[in-house]
Amino acid sequence: MNGKRLKLVGGLAVALTVIGGLGATGAAAAPGAPGPRYTAGSQGAGDAYFPYSGNGGYDVSHYDLDVTYTPPAAAPAPLEGRFEGVATIDLVATQDLDRFNLDLRGMEVSSLTVDGKPARAIAPPAPGAEVDGAAYWHVQDDEERIWELTVQPRPKIKKGQSVQLVVEYGGTTTRPLDIEEAPYGWWTTRDGAMVVSEPDGSMTWYPVSDHQTDKASYSFAITVPEGKVAVANGVQSKPEQTAGGWTTWYWDAPDQQASYLTTASVGDFELRPTYTSTSGVPIIDAVDTKITGNALTNTNASLGLQPQMIDFLESRFGPYPFNSYGSIVDNDSVGYALETQTRPVYSGSAGQGTVLHELAHQWFGNAVSPERWADIWLNEGWATYATWLWTEHRGGITAQQAYNNWYAPARTPAYWSFQIGDPGALGLFATQVYNRGAATLHALRVEVGDEAFFAGSRLWLERHNDSAGTAEDFQAVFEEVSGEDLDAFFQTWLYDQVKPPATWTLP
Ligand code: ARG
Ligand code: ZN
């Protein structure tokens, strides 16, 4: 923590100074001291890669997002949209709160109330300064990656108390590129927006505790110019309504959801009739009407397999975890896909392997999320391994052959020295996270045997359902089902900076 940062964060430096880090929540009450001790909630969730993402001192139970969005005008107008939002956030305090933070990036707040009581906007106060009455302030520092909206509620909030926060905000949306130069957040497109926020881009479009350790349910009312279609997570809670040239789309996502998995994509979509998996999961697809020719043929073939893919993954890993499924296929930004909960986003077209990959994430990543971003191999390794299993199931090469194809070729020392168990913020989506991640799971299967491997997979999903887990939690599950000590195994696969020593082959 350098002096510059302390200075830049202004009033937030108090919390930093007191806690000397981001995971703790301030001075504790002295033993036997009477009454509550109100302190500031932490300004981060404690993630080593994104120290200011997420917040402490409360748990969000629900986000209700009411958005009015005007997409860019036709070229050559700039690719910028106009965004107005009202976020209604239900949260429960987990400590006696004097202040608490939300993450919000690139938007301006115009009003904020706590349980209906207005707070006034002020400039960030000096470190340690007292602030009178209910107030809020917003620190935005792109260089230091600090985007913190601080709320000082009055009266103060007691531990266990439920409060409702209403934030009115808005701004101009653009096309941010962030971690690994990927689309980030409310990614403005000529016809709308492709909303993809992994790992911490949700703060570009709503005030949020932007970390997967604080999951919540969501509801949406997205108002767009008549003719545009807005598709979010979950199901339409009521039919869209049109008045005065604007259409409002209502979506409801009642399952626990990590912030990076939220979407509300807008475009010239064909919202297709709902169909179902064998197990009855409703599937709702939205495909950009500008996708034609081979891209449309391929997309339709892949989407047509979704019911069988759900059947297959349910047979291996247990029931599909959410209330609905389906895909959003946008014609913009070719090559990006994200497993947004219940409704992955694809760009350009949706290939079969990618569709299986994003579907597999609903179990691995969405129902059970990586507790730290360092645990990303649990997402991408599993989704990749699921495609190996699917290919075998469809009569293609076996998972063992896919493993051999990965293991056999000579690769650079740089490839092998990459630690998938600690890839760094800029290495989250490195190819090794996907391929060595999948190979790790195959080797684990060889190590413990098929029975323990699939039993362990299900136990992992059950134990951490609607929540998150770490690589250590994962190891513990497989030690439990196999009775083996797996320290050396995970050291080799997640951390050793060399090629794992031998081919792992199924009997
Ligand atoms: N999770 C996405 C997938 O399943 C990848 C996201 C890539 N993000 C990035 N910033 N490069 O493929
Ligand atoms: Zn993935």
- Are 26 and 154 found together in one domain? yes
Among 30-34, 93-97, 142-146, top mean pLDDT goes to: 93-97
Considering 209, 228, 259, which residue would you say is the last residue of a domain?
A: 259
Residue 263: pLDDT over 60: yes
Is residue 210 within 8 A of residue 203, CB to CB? The reply is yes
> For the whole prediction, is pTM greater than 0.85?
yes
Report pLDDT for 17: 30
- pLDDT for position 23: 37
Average pLDDT on 316-327 reads 98
* 494 occurs within a structural domain: yes
> Which is nearest to 55 in space by CA: 255, 205, 202, 256?
202
Q: Are residues 337 and 375 in the same domain?
A: no
* Euclidean distance between CA atoms 458 and 313, whole angstroms: 11
Same domain for 162 and 304?
no
In a domain, 230, yes or no: no
Weakest-pLDDT range from 30-39, 221-230, 239-248, 497-506: 30-39
User: 34 falls in which pLDDT band (50, 70, 90)?
Assistant: low
Instruction: Determine which helix (DSSP H) or strand (DSSP E) holds 155, and give its type and residue range.
Output: none
Q: What range does the domain containing 453 cover?
A: 370-504
Tell me if 109 is assigned to some domain: yes
Mean of the pLDDT values across residues 5-17?
30
Which residues lie near ion ligand 2 (Cβ < 5 Å)?
A: 380, 383
Q: Which residues make beta-bridge pairs with 288?
A: 269
pLDDT at 213 over 60: yes
Domain end (from 362, 386, 415): 362
State what percent of residues in the chain have pLDDT above 70: 93
Instruction: Return the pLDDT at 441.
Output: 98
pLDDT recorded at residue 127? 83
267-283: average pLDDT: 97
Q: Which pLDDT belongs to residue 175? A: 87
d(CA 249, CA 109): 23
In a domain, 225, yes or no: no
- The pLDDT value given to residue 33: 57
Same domain, 399 and 306: no
Q: Is 460 helix (H, G, I), strand (E, B) or coil?
A: helix
What CA–CA distances, in Å, run from 5 to 52, 139, 141, 271?
12, 12, 10, 47
Nearest residue (by CA) to ligand 1, atom 6, is 338
Measured N-to-C along each axis, helices 431-448 and 471-482 cross at an angle, to the nearest 10 degrees, of: 20
Strands (DSSP E) contained in 22-96 are: 39-40, 58-70, 81-93
Same domain for 157 and 15: yes
pLDDT at 398: 98
Nearest CA to ligand 1 atom 3: 338
Between 13 and 432, the more confident residue is 432
Q: How many domains does the chain have?
A: 3
C-alpha 461/C-alpha 108 separation (Å) is 39
**Nearest atom in ligand 1 to 338's CA:** 2
Q: Give me the CATH number covering residue 19.
A: 2.60.40
What distance in angstroms lies between residue 337's CA and the mean position of ligand 1's atoms? 7
**Domain co-membership, 289 together with 399:** no
Q: Are residues 358 and 374 in the same domain?
A: no
Q: Does the Cβ of 461 fall within 6 Å of ligand 1?
A: no
Is the pLDDT at 22 greater than 70, yes or no? no
- Half-sphere CA count of 322, side-chain side, radius 13 A: 32
Contacts of 166 (CB under 8 A, 6+ apart): 86, 87, 88, 89, 111, 112, 113, 116
State the helix-helix crossing angle for 306-317 and 352-363, rounded to 10 degrees: 40
Banded model confidence at residue 179, pLDDT cuts 50, 70, 90: confident
DSSP label at 94? S
Which of these ranges, 27-36, 49-58, 393-402, has the smallest mean pLDDT? 27-36
Same domain, 212 and 279: no
One domain for residues 149 and 37: yes
pLDDT band at 14 (very low <50, low <70, confident <90, very high): very low
Q: Band of the pLDDT at 502, cuts 50, 70, 90?
A: confident
Q: Looking at residue 30, what is its pLDDT? A: 52
| Residue written as token pair 């033993």 | 31
Q: Which ligand is nearest to the CA of 346?
A: 1
| 5 pLDDT more than 70 | no
Mean pLDDT, residues 232-252 taken together: 98
Determine the distance separating the centroid of ligand 1 and the alpha carbon of 398, expressed in angstroms.
25
User: CA nearest 231: which of 130, 117, 132, 346?
Assistant: 346
259, 292, 316 - which closes a domain: 259
- Residue 134, ligand 1, Cβ within 6 A: no
**Is 285 within a domain?**
yes
Is 296 part of any domain? Answer: yes
Query: For the chain, what is the total number of helices (H) and then of strands (E)?
Result: 12, 27
Q: Is residue 89 part of a domain?
A: yes
CB 265 within 8 A of CB 231: yes
Distance CA 79, CA 464 (A): 41
pLDDT number for residue 134: 98
The pLDDT of residue 26 is above 60: no
The band of 306, judged by pLDDT with boundaries at 50, 70 and 90, is very high
CATH code of the domain in which 394 resides:
1.10.390.10
Bridge partners of 219, per DSSP, are: 64, 252
Pairing relationship of beta strands 275-276 and 282-283 according to DSSP bridges: antiparallel
Is residue 405 over pLDDT 50? yes
Q: DSSP of 226-266, one letter per residue?
A: TT-EEEESSEEEEEEEEETTEEEEEEEEEEEE-GGG--EEE
Question: What's the average model confidence in pLDDT over 363-377?
Answer: 98
Whether 255 and 278 map to the same domain: the answer is no
166 with 300, same domain: the answer is no
| pLDDT class of 25 with cuts at 50, 70, 90 | very low
Helices 471-482, 450-463: crossing angle, 10 deg rounding: 130
Rounded CA separation 378/437 (Å) = 7
Give the Cα separation of 477 and 206 in Å (integer): 36
Q: Classify each residue of 262-273 as buried b or exposed e, where b means 16 or more C-beta atoms within 10 Å of its C-beta.
A: bbbbbbbbebee
Q: 358 CA distance to ligand 2 centroid (A)?
A: 6
The answer, yes or no, to whether any atom of ligand 1 lies below 6 A from the CB of 345, is no
172 lies in some domain: yes
497 and 390 in one domain?
yes
Give the pLDDT mean for 71-77. Answer: 96
Question: Which residue's CA is the closest to the ligand 1 atom numbered 4?
Answer: 338
pLDDT tens digits, 477-497: 999 999 999 999 999 999 999
Average pLDDT of the residues in 126-132: 90
